[in-house]
Amino acid sequence: MSMLNQDDLTLLTGTSNHSLIPWTGQPKGLTPPLIHPALKGPLDELAAKASGAGFTLAVTSAFRSYDQQLAIWNAKARGERTLLNDAGLPLLFDDLSDRDVLEAIMRWSAIPGASRHHWGTDLDIYDLKSLGADKKLELTPQEVAPSGIMGAFHLWLDGLMKQQNACGFYRPYNRDRGGVAPEKWHLSYRPLAQKFDQAYTLSVFHEVISRPGLLLAEYLHDEIEEIFFRYVKNTAPFPEL
């Protein structure tokens, strides 16, 4: 039995956003991201802690729909959007086989219908103050490394998480597990994300990769179990709170 309620079940694969709310704590001048209502309190609290430490927590991406993720995926599959290697550097599309393209996409982008961004529980965050007015956010390993412009912000978050004081948030992609590349900027609200994760079974995954219009789908079907466990389920263990 799934522990998700009916509203939440519609979010599992990104086909609905009707139960989400805009986060009103987003810094002024930026578009408020859509979040699950359960995140409002904890995210407000985390933003207040950031502010107390001299940072301005901003969300660059929260909910992403199935259709948005499909557009990202298919653009990468067609070579219309840059593919990155493990170090976050651009790859030459024409040098890659279809299988290589698939691997390169899955390192940095979720399979449509299998993104944690569909749930409203997961956020890509940054410190608006450190970014400065003239810089564009990149979300690269370099940017969040201790010496990068987001370094101090993430070191502060590391400390908060170590003290189990991060308002329920943790990093599912904290280190390289051979699937999705490390993404320090990606936070997940554990109390709810854990329920979504439990509801996300191999049969759910099979349904989403069988939807029409998904490029490279035949390769996903060929190795469905390996890909499911390597790229969808291969995240950090849920921390104690």
**Where do contacts with Zn ion occur on this chain (CB under 5 A)?**
124, 186
Q: How far is the CB of 111 from Zn ion (least distance, A)?
A: 14
Whichever of 8 and 124 has its CB closer to Zn ion, that residue is 124
Whichever of 176 and 222 has its CB closer to Zn ion, that residue is 176
Give the DSSP per-residue string, 15-45.
S--TT-EE-TTSPTTSPPPEE-GGGHHHHHH
Q: Give the whole-angstrom CA distance, residue 167 versus residue 6.
A: 25
Q: How far is the CB of 194 from Zn ion (least distance, A)?
A: 17
Centre a 10 Å sphere on the Cβ of residue 142 and count the other Cβ atoms it contains: 14
End-to-end alpha carbon distance in the chain: 24
Whichever of 92 and 114 has its CB closer to Zn ion, that residue is 114
Q: How far is the CB of 235 from Zn ion (least distance, A)?
A: 12
Whichever of 124 and 127 has its CB closer to Zn ion, that residue is 124
Q: How far is the CB of 110 from Zn ion (least distance, A)?
A: 8
Q: How far is the CB of 17 from Zn ion (least distance, A)?
A: 16
Q: What are phi and psi of 115, to 5 degrees?
A: -95, 140
Q: Give the whole-angstrom CA distance, residue 41 versus residue 14.
A: 23
Match 């990468």 to its residue by tokens. Answer: 76
Q: Which residue is nearest to Zn ion (CB)?
A: 186
Whichever of 148 and 182 has its CB closer to Zn ion, that residue is 182
Q: Give the whole-angstrom CA distance, residue 185 versus residue 172.
A: 10
